[in-house]
Each structure stands twice: as C-alpha cells, then as structure tokens.
A and B are shown apart, each in its own frame.
Chain A
Amino acid sequence: MHCKRERTEIYMDRKSGKRIVWCAALWFACAVLVTIGEALLVKSEVHNREQQLEEIIIIHPELEQEMVQNFKYYQQQMLEEFFTLWILLLVLLGVVVLAFYFAGQWQQRKEEKRILDDVDVICTQLEQFRRGNFEVASYFSVGDGKKQEKRQERAGTTRNSLPAKIRNPFGSKLSAKIRNPFESKLSAKSRNKSESRLSAKIRNKSESRLLVRIRNKSDSDFRENEHWVRVRELLRELAYYFSDIKERLVEEENSTKALITDISHQLKTPLASLRMSHELTEAENLTESERREFAEKETQEIEKLEMLLEELVNLSRLENHMIQIKPEPLGIKQTITEAVNQIFMKAHVKNIEIQVKLENDVMIRHDRKWTVEALANVLDNAVKYSEPQTCIGIRVSPLPSNLLIEIEDEGIGISEEDLHRIFKRFYRGKLASGYAREGAGVGLYLARSILEQQGGSIIAKRKMERGTIFKITLPLA
C-alpha cells in the first residue's frame, strides 16, 4: 500500500513539475507578446510625434530649439509610462498564470486524494481477504455506499445520465445550432452576409471546440467510472470465489464426516445379522443339516456385505475425487453388453428376461469401466424391485447431441413424492424399503454421479401402469 502511495506521489510530482514548466512557458510567451505589442505601440507613438515635431518646425522654425527640448521631455515621460505599464502587465500575467497553476494544483490534490481513497478501499478489502474474511465490503456492493452514489452522480454510469449542464452547457439554442449547422448558416445569410458568416464561423468553431473539450472530459470521467466499476466487480467476484472455496471446504469436511457416519450405520445391520448367524452356527445342540443351513445363510450375508462394501468403497472414492473418470469415444454396444453380463445371472435366477434393442453401435464419449458400473446399478435396481416372470427392456436411440438409453422395468415403481429423492445418497423409497431388505440407497446415487461427471444425465419416469423408465443421456462423440 505504501509502495503504491509512493508511486502515486512520484507520478503526481512529475505531473506537477510539467505543469510548472508549462505555466512558465505560457507566462514567457504572453510576456513576449505584451513586449512586442508595447514596443510596436511605442515605435508608432514616437514616429507620430517626430512627424508632428517636423511639421511644427517647418511652420515655426524659430521655436526649433524649444520644441526639440519639449519633445525629448515628453518622449521620456511616455517611455517611462509605457515601461510602468509593461511591468504592470507582466506582473498581472504572472498573477493570472500563478492562479491558473494553483487551481491546477488544487484539482490535482483533489484527484490525488480520490485515487488514494480508492486505493485505500481496495487495500482494505484485500487486507480483509488476507485475514480470511471473505465478505464483500459494503463499498463494493452495487447500490451501497454513499461514495459510490456520489461517484455515479458525478461521472454518470452512461452518457445519457450525465448531468444536464454537462450534456447541454450552452442552452437549447446553441445545441440546436450545433446539431444543425446549415440552419445557422442559412439564418446568417439573411442578415449581413459577410459579417454574420464570419461571426457564425468563429462561433461555430469555438463552440464545437468547447463541446469537444467537454465531451473529452465526460468521456474520461466515463472511462474512469467504467474502470472503477470493473475493479469493484472483480473484487466482488474474487470475494465470492474465496467465500465459495471456504464454504466448499467446510461442506466437503462435513460431507466426509456424514459419509463415515452413514457407512458405519450401513455396515452395522449386515454385521449384526452375520454375527447372529455365526453365533447360531456355534450352538452345540444343532443338527448337521441345521448347521449347514446357518452356514449357508452366513455365506449369503458375507456376499451381501462384500457387495455393500464394494459399493461404499466406490462411493467414498468418487466422493473424495480419488476416482478419475476419463471419457473417450467408444462404442456403446460393448458397454451395455458388459453391464447386462454383470446382472444377467441375478435376473436369470429370478426368471427376469432382459431385452436389448440396439440396431447400430453408436460412438459416445464415456469411461467404459465406470459407465458399466452406472448402468449395472440401474439394471440391478430394476432386477431387485421386479417380480419374477417380468421383463426389463433396454432401448438405445440417438438424439441430436446425446445418446438416449432407456431402461424400462415392470417393477414396483416409485411413488410421486420419492421421485426427486431417489438419486440422493442413502435414500431408499418407501416402496423399495418395504419390498427388499438388501440395498443401501447407494446404487442410483453412484450412477448419477458417474453419468454427470461425463456430461450425462439420468432421470426416472413413472410408467402409467406398473414400473419405471430410467432415461440416461450421454454426449455423442
């Protein structure tokens, strides 16, 4: 901040130095002009008097001596008077130039103070950022701050909002003339032609010069204001950016904590079930067949636990950005085949038919491994919540920019109130919780995360009859 102040002061000193030189030059030029003017006047006066003297001597030659003495005396007096006038004019010029200089200095000080005030405001905001407070100072809030109001009043946010005096300092008559110079020329013609033309010309010239100067001034004010608005906007954006980063960090920390709590909660139930089966297997009064039955249940519980763990590991990796999804142009046919293969046995056991309608392979930008995971999750969901002897259909059709994959089942469906919640982490619909014990509300959440990270989307639509259609889009290659 001090450095900036020093730089500004140096800049101001240079500006001030230039002004001194400029003022001195102006004074000197004016002095030269006054001197030349006076010298010409004196010369002309002396010449006139000499002529008068010569004429008097011709008429009265006897008075020559006396006249010459008088002439010398009065010439001396005249020269003294002119010298005094010359000195006075130079002093007056000096005073005017000095006044001009000090007015400039005063304006410069005012400008300097305003710039330093602005720099102070920016520094205060940056200092606040440094201390970790990412709130936007009221000065930078649009519409807040008296200074800003004043600034906008002074400079105007647009040319149209310039104060009336600046916009039209000459009054309506003059502005009309400037708008239509031909009109003024025409009126001048009707009066005294040569005189009025000349005066109109001079007037128009001086008026337009003045107007240009004022326009330049208002333009510079406008630009200055525009720069300030830009600085203000940038600082505000920066504040929001920092604020967002800070809040996102807090949110991520909370999300990780919530994830750990959710995972431990999700693991508790199957672990308790496994412990119960294990304790029953160890009981002494069991027959061999009962023991085998409990062991089988134990194996099933372990398998479920393994699946759940796999889902949770994937979820936590995805949430913590440990998984890098790299979309590349690949055919969708193989991706769908791999996804169907993953749940085929499960569907076969439940006697659920899977029909795939895909005429031509389509190239889309996707990460095959993770898209298979997403599609398999949706298909697994369809199998899980469908009755035996039903059918799951997969249809693929290209849209102008995306590929549409529709997965239609004849399952229990989704209630209307659950519709916008089913993609939330660990959310299980009311119908789903009542229908199947397995499932932790991770699959659809994971599928959505994977698809969205590839620029795709997923929605679920309730069918008129039983079942759901999941519509998935992925960008075409």
Chain B
Amino acid sequence: MSTIVEIKDLVKYYQAGESIVKAVDHTSLQIERGKFTAIVGRSGSGKSTLLHLMGGLDRPDSGKVLIEDNDIYAWKGDRLAAFRRKKIGFIFQDFNLIPSLNVWENVVLPLGLDGRKVKEAEVMDILERIGLADKKNAMPNTLSGGQKQRTAIARALAAAPAIILADEPTGNLDSRTELEVMSLLKNCVKEFGQTLVMITHDETIAQMADVVIVIEDGKVVSQS
C-alpha cells in the first residue's frame, strides 16, 4: 500500500510554567492509504498534538508533515486551510456540532464552506448508511450521544476527504454505543476507500484497527 501521510522528524514542544513539555519529540511515521490506523497512548503522551499536526491544525517547531507528497507546512494559512477542507475530515470527541443547525445542515456545512455543490443523493446515502436518515431534520439537542457522533461522522464523510482524523471519537460514549459507532465508522471508511487515523487511549477500540501505533512521551514506541 502507498503512503498517504508521512511524518518526518516532527517536533512540538510546549512551555508549561518553567518546564518544557515534549508533546511530539522527533517522531517519524507513515500512514498507509486505505487503512485504519490507531494511535494509542496514555493521556499526555502527545497523541492529540500529533493528530493536530497531522491535520494542519497546529504548526510544528520543526519537521515535516507530507500528505500525498505535499509538505503542508510549507504553505501559508489560506492554502493550507483550502487543502485541509478538501483532503481531511475531522471527528472530535465533543462532536462539535452547530447547535442552531439540524442534522442535514450540520452534515452539508463543510461542503458549503468549501464552495462545493451539495449532492443530495450522496449525502442521503451516507445518512442512510449511518442510520440517521430519519433524523435529518432533528436538532442536535434532541439527539443521543451516539447519534451526535454519527452526525459528526456523516459530516466528515460528506466532504469525501482522503483522510479522516478522529480524536477519541468514542470518548464520550458508553461501551455499547462506542462499538456500534466504531463499527459504522470503520465500514463507511472502508466502503468509501478512505484512510482513517484515530487516536485513543483504549486498547480495546484499537483492536479494530489494521495498524496500531503506540506512542509514549511524544515518541513512537511500537507499530504493529
């Protein structure tokens, strides 16, 4: 399989009081196209920072992030944002839905921001697959945690990005719902030929991944 994301000697340090936190410490890794990669690590191991750097949400102190051979940090704000909108989809632990928009509007929002045409049949197909077709007019405050996360997944899928970066997507869900959400996410990503990178502290959820990368103190300690 070809590499879709390549991280080369990435460094990101934070100043916490008088000490320096090495969130990402000279890390290099490769993410294979079309696979589900889980990045596992304890809280504070630097996995979230790594994911944010991978998605162009933060800037590294040094090192490179190559997505489809493009050095994303060689670009300036607007271009990086345009590339991110087109190539990367995000799923967050807190769902990040817009409370004043209904499910459908939340799902098509990234398309509108990117100036793309909304293909209703395609979006409807995603909602059906994700089991939200009957909730498309519902407001976020009427949805359960699982339904909110499924909406967030549908929103990430609707923009048809090449890569989906998920930050603890089941962190706020109970164990029964987390399995269903993960199952849906994995199947959809597989069906649409996308690459899924997920960070989690839960080794159980990581079992569903094709590749598991273990990270400790900002460094990759194992990859299997």
Contacts and interface: CB of A to CB of B under 8 A. Distances in A.
A473 B183 contact: yes
Contacts of A400: 131, 146-147, 180
Interface string A389-418: 000000001011110100000000000100
A402 B40 contact: no
Given A400-B146, A401-B131, A136 B69 contact: yes
A404 B176 contact: yes
A473 B203 CA distance: 18
Interface residues of A, number: 36
A457 B2 contact: no
A401 B206 contact: no
B187 interface: yes
Interface in A243-279: 243-244, 247-248, 251
B205 A459 contact: yes
B69 A141 contact: yes
A143 B183 contact: no
Contacts of A243: 2
B74 A240 contact: no
Nearest to A161: B78
B82 interface: yes
Interface string B42-83: 000000000000000000000000001111001100010011
Given A244-B1, A419-B204, A420-B203, A402 B183 contact: yes
A423 B131 contact: no
B224 A420 contact: yes
B139 interface: no
Nearest to A473: B183
A240 B176 contact: no
A460 B183 contact: no
Contact of B2 (A157, A244, A459, A460): A244
Contacts of B183: 402, 455-457, 473
Given A400-B146, A401-B131, A473 B207 contact: no
Contacts of B186: 457
Contact of B74 (A143, A247, A471): A143
Given A243-B2, A400-B180, A421-B224, A459 B208 contact: yes
B69 A459 contact: no
Interface in A413-462: 416, 419-424, 455-457, 459-462
Contact of B33 (A240, A251, A455, A473): A240
A461 to B, nearest CB: 5
Contacts of A419: 203-204, 206-207
A459 B204 contact: yes
Contacts of A473: 179-180, 183
B28 interface: no
A1 interface: no
Interface string B210-221: 001000000000
Nearest to B182: A457
Contacts of B177: 399
Interface string B143-170: 0001100000000000000000000000
Given A143-B75, A420-B224, A473-B179, A401 B184 contact: yes
A248 B1 contact: yes
Interface in B20-45: 33-34, 38, 40
Interface of B: 1-2, 33-34, 38, 40, 68-71, 74-75, 79, 82-83, 115, 130-131, 146-147, 175-177, 179-180, 182-184, 186-187, 203-209, 212, 224
Given A157-B82, A247-B2, A473-B183, 5 more contacts: A141-B69, A143-B70, A240-B2, A244-B1, A404-B180
The 3 closest A-B pairs by CB, nearest first: A401-B131, A457-B183, A399-B180
Interface of A: 136, 141-144, 157-158, 236, 240, 243-244, 247-248, 251, 397, 399-402, 404, 416, 419-424, 455-457, 459-462, 471, 473
20 contacts: A141-B68, A142-B83, A143-B75, A157-B82, A158-B115, A240-B33, A243-B2, A244-B1, A402-B179, A404-B176, A416-B203, A419-B203, A419-B207, A420-B209, A424-B224, A456-B183, A457-B179, A457-B183, A457-B208, A461-B175
